[in-house]
Structure 1
């Protein structure tokens, strides 16, 4: 929980226009991704916005918004409007962090609201040439899109190595290690739904199940 958020340093200037700021920053983010060649034939999953309280990940033509600050909820409709300016986006899923927002004094649990963020929806994405099935009910937005470069780097140093991926979730790092010709890859996570997807992702990428496997176990207990 943040007690204070500093939105403007110079109080002598014009008052901060949050809507203009959102439009400027989101448009700049869209332009930067275009300049980076995103999306591409090998990557259609990437982070569009990474800020305190607001995360926007793009999965194909779907944008998933993770909201964890009251100011984000206040400007929800305008944020959605700005995201819709990205021609690629056809659908948006809004995922508020209910418990965190409660700490900020914003209780979304009103009697007439359906607060279920469960979609039972899976999406197939590709990142650096590796395919994934992800769940929109998973952690954060359903995928740690901000780790794209780190996953790719791991694949470049895994040749001939034995790799252990702790808290592996749906297998992002483990799959990259296997694609990078690791001798043996083991992923450990306590979530059965995440590991189910991780195992599906082995088959999806035609990887050798004899070289990559996933274990359901508490990470701390496993390390002991």
Structure 2
């Protein structure tokens, strides 16, 4: 075990040195440091300014609870030392929460920790304690900037908007109107807060609580200049009428989105399905371009499972 711990220490030291240098150079304060690089250390480790967010992936490790707790504490001490962050600023999420977690880090998962972070000159509220995701998907940093660059005076639709980071970027790019749609009231409220946080008038930018699959059928033809759609891979939320399977349903979804898009309008579409194959022949777009590599941030170069496309009607 000592040998493996040494491997983990060496790897984390090396990647942190490299990635933190790139982040400083680009003035980026929220970035991913490590993602499951060594299978025996199944963590995702992210910096949020002066705080560290760690998610432990649920994986069969063969340890009993006590041994696993001791191992995790050792890992966290190491992470604290290498990243030079005190334990009080480290937030741990286990993909499968154990009710009997007893360790020096126990209080971390009991405290609530929300903070405002900056990205691209904009502000976002993140929550490092209560959800499996923090509220800001760091892998779409470049995609958000691309959207911001091309929305001036345009009507924008953000589907499956989550906490509205794309919406904020679109408003910052001078969009005439940004409509944000999500099935979760929690996330929509969060998205509105993010908009207000950046000084945008939420009365000018509608927030719609709806099941996207049904909402698309209500849209008028040729309404939007730019649409962002970043759906879950699968969803069978009790509030959703239909079960969503992105591989099976993406062509139908995109065709409905394209109907609501003006001629020469743009659709950004991404998803996290590892084996996703775009069925281009079924999609009624003038052009479809795979921009996955173009939108890959420096801190996701080693491991990026999401796909990203730019469609033109």
Bucket of the pairwise TM-score, normalised by the shorter protein: 0.7 to 0.9
Which of 70, 94, 98 is the equivalent residue of 1:96? 94
CA contact (8 A) 1:26 1:82 kept: no
Matched, 1:26 2:24: no
Partner SS for 2:24 = coil
Which of 42, 49, 61 is the equivalent residue of 1:60? 49
Structure 1 CA distance for aligned equivalents of residues 195 and 21 of structure 2: 32
Partner of 2:126: 134
Q: CA deviation at 1:81?
A: 2.5
Matches within 5 A, 1:176-215: 176-215=169-208
Which of 24, 29, 35 is the equivalent residue of 1:44? 29
Partner of 2:265: none
Which of 23, 26, 35 is the equivalent residue of 2:21? 35
Q: CA deviation at 1:65?
A: 0.7
CA contact (8 A) 2:183 2:212 kept: yes
Matches within 5 A, 1:61-76: 61-70=50-59, 71=61, 75-76=71-72
Partner of 2:84: 87
CA RMSD of aligned residues (A): 3.1
Given the superposition, is the C-alpha separation of residues 193 and 24 from structure 1 closer, same or farther in structure 2, using an over 3 Å criterion?
A: same
Partner of 1:5: none
Q: CA deviation at 1:119?
A: 4.0
Q: Residues 156-180 of structure 1, C-alpha deviation per residue, up to 9 Å, x if partnerless?
A: 2222332211111111111111111
Given the superposition, is the C-alpha separation of residues 79 and 133 from structure 1 closer, same or farther in structure 2, using an over 3 Å criterion?
A: same
Q: Residues 166-218 of structure 1, C-alpha deviation per residue, up to 9 Å, x if partnerless?
A: 11111111111111112221111122222222111112111233442322222
Which of 153, 166, 181 is the equivalent residue of 2:159? 166
Instruction: Could you tell me which runs of 5 or more consecutive residues in structure 1 were left unpaired when the two chains were aligned.
Output: 1-14, 100-107
Given the superposition, is the C-alpha separation of residues 210 and 83 from structure 1 closer, same or farther in structure 2, using an over 3 Å criterion?
A: same
Structure 2 CA distance for aligned equivalents of residues 116 and 97 of structure 1: 15
Instruction: Could you tell me which runs of 5 or more consecutive residues in structure 2 were left unpaired when the two chains were aligned.
Output: 218-313
Larger radius of gyration: 2
CA contact (8 A) 2:93 2:132 kept: no
Given the superposition, is the C-alpha separation of residues 60 and 115 from structure 1 closer, same or farther in structure 2, using an over 3 Å criterion?
A: closer
Q: Residues 103-153 of structure 1, C-alpha deviation per residue, up to 9 Å, x if partnerless?
A: xxxxx3449797995644321111111101122323424431222222222
Partner SS for 1:93 = strand
CA contact (8 A) 1:162 1:185 kept: yes
My pick for the range that moved more, 58-67 or 44-53, is 44-53
Partner of 1:7: none
Q: Give the total of aligned pairs.
A: 201
CA contact (8 A) 1:67 1:95 kept: yes
Given the superposition, is the C-alpha separation of residues 149 and 210 from structure 1 closer, same or farther in structure 2, using an over 3 Å criterion?
A: same
My pick for the range that moved more, 108-117 or 30-39, is 108-117
Structure 2 CA distance for aligned equivalents of residues 131 and 62 of structure 1: 16
